[in-house]
């Protein structure tokens, strides 16, 4: 779902809206590896700081080993301007530290591909694609680095305060932004993962009142070929660079 800037917005706000649009596609991806399955509700036992530190180290080890993941997902997006939630389904692939592919199926399909240097969002129905150079645009790269801290956990404590509980065989982790720059993007992330770190669900809240619930199924840790992260828009596609070349 792209975010419309509106006819009365200034050029600066226009550029910001493109960044928000990119984050709305990218944000749900960023918490993929830290998302988990919510089991039957039991008495939640708060995790101590030492337990949280140990959990983060385990997550770091998973991503340092470059363990790829792929899964089916269902996303339910709630926005104040819409009466009913927007529901998307599709598939996602992730290879640490920064390669992601996310395909939305249905009536409004889209494909988001990040190869570590460039992000492309393709809308086949509109025959358009947006490309973002992550190396030439520090504002985008820095934002994505902060958001991906919630995925690779190697710098998560730089950007977020971490709290957690253990519910039977699941961990529920809440990330709250520390810095003003991240608070403009994220209000909170509540991630739940099985004790083997298998992602299943995530609850994302933005400062604008948007809320996104994502559940994952058929999660696999099979190797993902690099070709999955190569994407060239089909012939006839109108390719734009919202922030210039």
Per-residue pLDDT reduced to its tens digit, 207-224: 988 998 988 899 898 899
Per-residue pLDDT reduced to its tens digit, 54-97: 877 877 776 677 678 899 999 999 998 889 999 999 999 988 77
Under a CB-based contact definition with an 8 Å cutoff, are residues 181 and 61 in contact? no
HSE (side-chain half, CA atoms, 13 Å) at 178? 12
Mean pLDDT of 134-162: 66
Under a CB-based contact definition with an 8 Å cutoff, are residues 76 and 68 in contact? no
Terminal Cα-to-Cα distance of the chain (whole angstroms): 23
65 three-state secondary structure = coil
Bond into 97 cis (ω within 30): yes
Distance (Å, rounded) from C-alpha 101 to C-alpha 21? 16
Beta strand pairing status for 69-78 and 199-205?
unpaired
Per-residue pLDDT reduced to its tens digit, 165-213: 888 788 888 889 888 878 888 899 888 888 888 887 889 898 988 998 9
Say which residue the tokens 């036992």 belong to: 45
Helix (H) or strand (E) holding 14: helix 11-30
Helix (H) or strand (E) holding 44: none
Query: What's the pLDDT at 31?
Result: 46
Instruction: Using pLDDT thresholds of 50, 70 and 90, give the confidence band for residue 145.
Output: low
Model pTM score: 0.72
């Amino acid at each position: 779902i792209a975010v419309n800037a509106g006819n009365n917005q200034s050029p600066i706000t226009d550029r910001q809206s493109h960044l928000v649009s990119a984050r709305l596609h990218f944000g749900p991806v960023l918490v993929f590896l830290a998302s988990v399955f919510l089991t039957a509700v039991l008495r939640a036992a708060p995790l101590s700081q030492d337990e949280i530190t140990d959990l983060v180290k385990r997550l770091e080890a998973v991503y340092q080993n470059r363990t790829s993941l792929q899964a089916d997902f269902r996303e339910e997006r709630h926005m104040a301007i819409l009466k009913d939630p927007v529901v998307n389904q599709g598939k996602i692939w992730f290879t640490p530290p920064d390669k992601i592919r996310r395909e939305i199926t249905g009536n409004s399909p889209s494909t988001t591909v990040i190869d570590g240097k460039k992000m492309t969002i393709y809308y086949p129905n509109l025959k358009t694609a947006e490309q973002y150079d992550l190396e030439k645009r520090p504002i985008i790269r820095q934002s994505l680095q902060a958001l991906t801290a919630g995925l690779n956990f190697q710098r998560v404590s730089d950007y977020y305060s971490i709290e957690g509980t253990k519910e039977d065989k699941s961990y529920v982790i809440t990330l709250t932004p520390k810095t003003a720059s991240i608070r403009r993007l994220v209000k909170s992330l509540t991630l739940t993962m099985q004790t083997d770190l298998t992602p299943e669900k995530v609850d994302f809240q933005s400062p604008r009142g948007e809320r996104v619930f994502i559940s994952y199924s058929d999660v696999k840790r099979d190797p993902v070929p690099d070709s999955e992260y190569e994407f060239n828009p089909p012939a006839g596609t109108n390719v734009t660079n919202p922030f210039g070349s």
